[in-house]
Structure formats: structure tokens, C-alpha cells
């Protein structure tokens, strides 16, 4: 079965408030089977335009990734991200 991924491209507009999102989303997503593969760190846009920060969270399946994104506890915490950052969030299926 192919793994699933939540991929986020983010530009933080309020770093102090955004830290609360990081602190609260981590245990939720880990508890739902997620594993952080990429979480910020240096990056270089080599083609096109993008946001500043990149996050990739791996899940056992595409369905698990979708379920984690739609989880009510995560959605409550996601409101913090929506207020403190500009973001594009995708849920994608990996290859087998």
C-alpha cells in the first residue's frame, strides 16, 4: 500500500503565535500515525515561486493522511496556523 503525505508550504507572518501551532500540532499528528520527514530547515527555490517554509509528514496510507488532516483536534489547532501564516496544504499519495 502506498504511503500518504501531508505537504505544507508556509510563510509565517507571526512567528511567536505560530510557535503555539507547532507545539500543539506535533503530538496530534504523531498520535495519528504521522512522521515528520521535512520540517522547515534550509531550502532553495530553484524554479518558480513558493512560500518560505516546507513541511512533509508521512502517514501509513493516503487515507490515513486525509483522516489526520480532517481530524477535529487537528482542525482546531490548524486555526492557529491560518491566523499566523499564509499556507498551501496538500494531501498526496506516494508511490509504492
- The pTM of the full predicted model, rounded to 2 decimals, is 0.94
**Segments making up each domain of the chain, as ranges:** 4-43+52-93
Give the tens place of pLDDT for each residue, 41-64.
999 999 999 999 999 999 999 999
DSSP 51: -
- Match 513541511 to its residue by C-alpha cell: 55
The percent of residues above 70 in pLDDT, for the chain, comes to 100
Residues 6+ apart with CB under 8 A from 77: 21, 24, 25, 28
Give the model's pLDDT for residue 96. Answer: 82
Q: Where are the alpha helices (DSSP H) in the chain?
A: 15-31, 62-70, 72-84
CATH 3.40.462.10 fits domain 4-43+52-93: no
pLDDT of residue 1: 87
Residues of the chain with pLDDT > 90: what percent?
97
Average pLDDT across the chain, whole number: 96
Section 1-9 average pLDDT: 96
Altogether, the residues listed in the chain come to a count of 96
Task: Tell me the average pLDDT across 74-88.
Answer: 97
Amino acid at each position: 500500500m502506498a504511503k500518504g503525505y501531508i505537504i505544507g508550504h508556509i510563510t509565517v507572518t507571526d512567528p511567536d503565535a505560530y510557535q503555539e501551532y507547532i507545539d500543539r500540532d506535533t503530538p496530534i499528528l504523531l498520535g495519528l500515525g504521522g512522521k515528520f520527514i521535512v520540517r522547515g530547515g534550509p531550502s532553495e527555490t530553484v524554479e518558480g515561486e513558493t512560500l518560505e517554509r516546507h513541511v512533509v509528514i508521512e502517514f501509513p496510507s493516503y487515507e490515513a493522511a486525509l483522516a489526520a488532516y480532517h481530524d477535529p483536534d487537528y482542525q482546531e489547532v490548524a486555526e492557529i496556523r491560518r491566523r499566523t501564516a499564509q499556507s498551501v496544504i496538500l494531501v498526496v499519495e506516494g508511490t509504492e
